[in-house]
Amino acid sequence: MTFSPLFWPIHLKSKTIYILDETQLPYRVSYIKVKDYQGACKAIKEMKTRAVGQVLLVFYTFLLVLEQNRKSKSLDKILQRVAKAINASRPTLPFKVLTDMVLGWQVQGAPLEKCILGFLEKLKNYRIAQAQEAASLVKNGDVILTHCNISGLMPLIGQFCREQKKDISFYVTETRPYLQGARLSSWELNQQNFSVTIITDNMVAQVMSEGKIDKVIVGADNLAQNGDIANKIGTYQIAILAQHFKVPFYVLCPPRSNAKSGSEIKIEIRPEKELLNFQGRCIAPKGVKAYYPAFDVTPKELITGHIHLGRE
Amino acid sequence: MTFSPLFWPIHLKSKTIYILDETQLPYRVSYIKVKDYQGACKAIKEMKTRAVGQVLLVFYTFLLVLEQNRKSKSLDKILQRVAKAINASRPTLPFKVLTDMVLGWQVQGAPLEKCILGFLEKLKNYRIAQAQEAASLVKNGDVILTHCNISGLMPLIGQFCREQKKDISFYVTETRPYLQGARLSSWELNQQNFSVTIITDNMVAQVMSEGKIDKVIVGADNLAQNGDIANKIGTYQIAILAQHFKVPFYVLCPPRSNAKSGSEIKIEIRPEKELLNFQGRCIAPKGVKAYYPAFDVTPKELITGHIHLGRE
């Protein structure tokens, strides 16, 4: 297996966290260096990293703080402060599940560093297995539509398909306003020589009506107890369109959050300037507003299959 | 009534056609000067003007050619050559209906200049009446979602609503890749002090699910005999979503074309570089393809009401 840099975009070396700067892709593969938890939270807020990168960053931040405060008597307090700052960084993502896990290990007196490293190793293996399971659903000749970016899982699915002699290709929605599809998904798939075609977000019905799409596979940022998911804005309408055109719609899920259903997931509203500016230039006249919900909730009824992380 | 510059974006003065350069909006209101039919066709191909601007440009091009060749013995041949060039400029738009009309007048020996000017005057009045009819469907407090740009009709609808003491506001999809919504519709509505909120094309389901949208009103580039319409790419999926969320979906129509149904309308596929490049910068990695159907067809079943141009 060849891993996309997006599969594991965070590294810790010599008391420094290296964060793959996803805002620079596909132009440059560069890493931001962070030396404290405040820097990590800032990178999350500014979407320098996203999705799995944010999850990894939570754990690497705790590892960094542990290294820095190995002998501190107030380690408990420090860890709580770090957890609080992380939880406050972006509302839709269930960071609390992760930070509670770490604080729980600490309360139980478990060896924290070992617990975290063990968790990360398990996460890696679970993600590979998840890609393998998704690949088993794909048929030879399938064209897969994906939205946003699933942190290196899509090229892995492609590689498993290749191993199984299944020839597949991809359509990617550009995913405005942040262009994760055009910048990240198309890049990592193209790096591994898969056929990738970008469409704008308003072309989904057209390409489905032309019979160009066999399956939709997307990720999720939040999986509620009842099976509803929250994912990047635009996922919901692709699910409705997939149902309309009878295209199967699969979701690669994170662990379940505490939300009972999608209605309990708080949707993050991001600054309008992020929508009104495109590559540094304002695209709209002064005085015009914008509305930027960063995520939407897809109800479980629209999901053909959940592909879970680890055995549920 | 105050007319948006987009309502009548083409003018003819001293053997020169002035074309409002829509690619420069909202930054600059500037006009391209054209002195022959080849220049007019080039402006159509390069989408310097669109929608009604293209229709007007067809007629003003014939007026210009008439002025230039008033005494020519081969006027018939010249007009046929001009018609052929216009028809070939963009496939989805029913230019042939317009050019056949002009050639027909010539064959009948009608006073061509007078016929064209009369037609343009009628078109103007019909368009105003069309906006008035649309306004009659709008209720006080309505929030209207529109896609792309309907050449000055939306601010007119707003003005008729104001006259009728109906307070309305607008959501506009940005309409990638050309951004007609963000650049043109939001601009002309904002110029007349209407509340406008831009969303990206992938936020439609979300804003509808939040109950933010009362009605969808869009234009059409082609109306088939059976009531199917072709309009800017993205219209079709908005219509599907409107049906899903039970939001009425209205279309301001052009005259019927010769197409029996939507399946007879040829969809223009535009160069992929127009999708992959934004303001001079490529947004995707090298080697990645793009697919850019410029229009899609919305079947009549998804249309709550057709608002026709003139009484049918």
Residue B128 lies in a domain: no
Q: What angle do CA A39, A44, A49 make, to 5 degrees?
A: 110
Question: Could you report the per-residue pLDDT of A192-214, keeping only the tens digit for each?
Answer: 999 999 999 999 999 999 999 99
Domain of residue B221: give its range.
138-307
| CB-CB neighbors (< 8 A) of B201 in chain A | 176, 200-202
A141 and A96 share one domain: no
Query: Does any domain span residue B127?
Result: no
Q: Does any domain span residue A181? A: yes
The CA dihedral of B187, B191, B197, B201, to the nearest 10 degrees, is: -20
The DSSP call for residue B152 is T
Is residue A38 in a domain?
yes
Same domain, B107 and B171: no
Q: Does A215 touch chain B (CB under 8 A)?
A: no
Q: Which two tokens stand for residue A248?
A: 């199967």
Answer yes or no: do A16 and A86 share one domain: yes
Tell me, yes or no, whether A157 and A284 share the same domain: yes
Contact A197, B289 (CB under 8 A): yes
- Assess whether B112 and B209 both reside in one domain: no
Among B200, B267, B291, B297, pick the best mutation site for testing chain A contact (most A Cβ within 10 A): B200
Q: Of A79, A97, A122, which residue constitutes the final position of a domain?
A: A122
Chain A nearest C-alpha distance from B92 (Å): 15
The tens digit of pLDDT for each residue in B132-180 reads 999 999 999 999 999 999 999 999 999 999 999 999 999 999 999 999 9
Mean pLDDT in chain A? Answer: 95
Q: Which tokens belong to B54? A: 């293209």
Our count of domains for chain B comes to 2
Does ipTM come in above 0.85? Answer: yes
A180: three-class secondary structure by DSSP: helix
Q: What is the predicted pLDDT for the residue at A279?
A: 74
Confidence of residue B20 (pLDDT cuts 50, 70, 90): very high
Between A and B, how many CB-CB pairs are < 8 A?
Answer: 177
Give a yes or no: residue A312 inside a domain.
Answer: no
Which positions in chain B touch A289 (Cβ < 8 Å)? Answer: 195-198
Binned at pLDDT 50, 70 and 90, residue B280 comes out as: confident
Q: What is the DSSP code (8-state) at residue B242?
A: H
Both B36 and B117 in one domain: the answer is yes
Task: Mark which of A80, A97, A122 sits at the end of a domain.
Answer: A122
Same domain, B190 and B301: yes
| Nearest chain B Cα distance for residue A145, angstroms | 13
- Using H for helix, E for strand and C for coil, what is the string for B176-196? CCCCHHHHHHHHHHHHCCCCE
Predicted model pTM: 0.93
Model confidence pLDDT, tens digit, residues A118-174: 999 999 999 999 999 999 999 999 999 999 999 999 999 999 999 999 999 999 999
Residues from chain B that touch A191, judged by Cβ atoms under 8 A, are 285
Per residue in B75-128, pLDDT (tens digit) is: 999 999 999 999 999 877 779 989 999 999 999 999 999 999 999 999 999 999
- My answer on whether B149 and B297 are in the same domain is yes
Rg, chain A, Cα only? 19
Confidence of residue B312 (pLDDT cuts 50, 70, 90): low
By C-alpha distance, the chain A residue nearest B291 is: A199
* Helix-helix angle B95-107:B52-68, to 10 degrees: 30
Q: What is the pLDDT of residues A223-268, one digit of tens each?
A: 999 999 999 999 999 999 999 999 999 999 998 989 999 999 999 9
pLDDT above 90 (res B267): yes
Q: Is residue A169 part of a domain?
A: yes
pLDDT at A312: 62
Q: What pLDDT was estimated at residue B278? A: 80
Shared domain check, B110 and B195: no
CB neighbour list of residue B134: distance below 8 Å, 6 or more residues apart: B153, B157, B160, B217, B250, B252, B307
Domain identity same for B172 and B38 = no
Tell me which residues of chain A, numbers 174 to 213, contact chain B at a CB-CB cutoff of 8 Å: 174-177, 179, 182-183, 186-187, 190-191, 195-207, 209
Please report, in angstroms and rounded to a whole number, the separation of the first and last CA atoms in chain A: 25
User: Are A118 and A136 members of one domain?
Assistant: no
Residue bearing tokens 């402060």 = A81
Binned at pLDDT 50, 70 and 90, residue B279 comes out as: confident
| A 16-35 residues with CB < 8 A to B | 26
Which CATH number fits the domain that encloses residue A108?
A: 1.20.120.420
**Domain stops at, among A62, A90, A122:** A122
Give a yes or no: residue A164 inside a domain: yes
Do B291 and A173 lie within an 8 Å CB cutoff?
Answer: no
Determine the Cα–Cα distance for residues A161 and A1; give it in Å rounded to an integer. 12
Pairing of strands A143-146, A215-219: parallel
Q: Are B233 and A203 an interchain contact pair (Cβ–Cβ within 8 Å)?
A: yes
Give the whole-angstrom CA distance, residue A143 versus residue A211.
10
Partners of A296 on chain B (C-beta within 8 Å) are 203, 205-206, 209
Which residues of B participate in catalysis according to the annotation?
221
Q: Is A221 a catalytic residue?
A: yes
Rounded to an integer, the average pLDDT of B264-271 is: 94
Q: From CA B240, how far away is CA A20, in angstroms rounded?
A: 38
Q: How far is B176 from chain A (nearest CA, A)?
A: 6
Average pLDDT over residues B215-232: 97
Regarding whether A141 and A75 lie in a shared domain, the answer is no
Residue B280 inside a domain? The answer is yes
What's B224's domain CATH number?
Answer: 3.40.50.10470
Residue A93 has pLDDT above 90, yes or no: no
Percent of chain A scored above 70 by pLDDT?
99
Tokens of B23: 């690619």
In this complex, the residue of A190, A236, A288 whose CB is nearest that of residue B206 is A236
Is the per-residue pLDDT at A44 higher than 90? Answer: yes
Is it the case that residue A91 has pLDDT exceeding 90?
A: no
